């Protein structure tokens, strides 16, 4: 993202885009950049305004680069996706997951064997204990 002050603005016509009528502008900036921007409103850019923008990689016939306005308040997330904060109390959370997994396995076992689901707690405890023994052995 680049930031600069607008030193010159010139309308460059209008065109019908997929989201309605768009106004095109040639904008010169204090940092020396000369860019093309589109906006949904007339008089969207004024001399002296600060502009945050990114180059899109496209150019017009005169090789003037297209850019898009960026609101710095809504910076894009870094590449790599969302990284949620690490949970606190990780041991309790892990134990809860293991207990849930044990009960799920116990219910599936009872259903597969045609047994009474009332035996689920006994099987879940057995599965949980086996899981803890397996964790200690690794």
The crossing angle, in degrees rounded to 10, of helices 120-137 and 90-113 is: 130
Q: How far is CA 72 from CA 12, 50, 77, 84, 90, in A?
A: 26, 11, 12, 22, 35
Say which CATH topology domain 2-73 has. Answer: OB fold (Dihydrolipoamide Acetyltransferase, E2P) (2.40.50)
Alpha-carbon gap, residue 16 to 23, rounded angstroms? 9
Specify the residue for token string 């001399």.
47
Alpha-carbon gap, residue 116 to 94, rounded angstroms? 28
Query: What mean pLDDT value characterizes the chain?
Result: 86
Q: In the predicted model, is pLDDT for residue 77 greater than 60?
A: no
Say what the pLDDT of residue 8 is.
Answer: 94
pLDDT digits (tens, 9 = 90+) for 38-54: 999 998 999 999 999 99
pLDDT band at 63 (very low <50, low <70, confident <90, very high): confident
Share of the chain above pLDDT 70, in %: 88
Q: In the predicted model, is pLDDT for residue 76 greater than 60?
A: no
Q: Where are the domains of the chain?
A: 2-73, 90-137
pLDDT band at 71 (very low <50, low <70, confident <90, very high): confident
């Amino acid at each position: 993202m680049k930031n600069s002050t607008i030193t010159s603005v010139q309308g460059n016509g209008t065109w019908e885009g997929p989201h309605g009528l768009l106004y095109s502008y040639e904008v010169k900036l204090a940092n020396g950049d000369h860019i093309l921007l589109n906006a949904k409103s007339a008089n969207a850019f004024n001399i002296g305004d600060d502009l945050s923008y990114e180059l899109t990689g496209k150019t017009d016939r005169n090789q003037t680069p297209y850019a898009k306005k960026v609101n710095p308040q809504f910076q894009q997330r870094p590449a790599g996706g969302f990284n949620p904060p690490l949970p606190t109390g990780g041991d309790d959370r892990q134990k809860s997951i293991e207990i849930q997994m044990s009960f799920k396995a116990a219910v599936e076992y009872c259903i597969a064997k045609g047994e009474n689901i009332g035996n689920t707690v006994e099987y879940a405890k057995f599965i949980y204990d086996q899981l803890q023994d397996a964790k200690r052995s690794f």
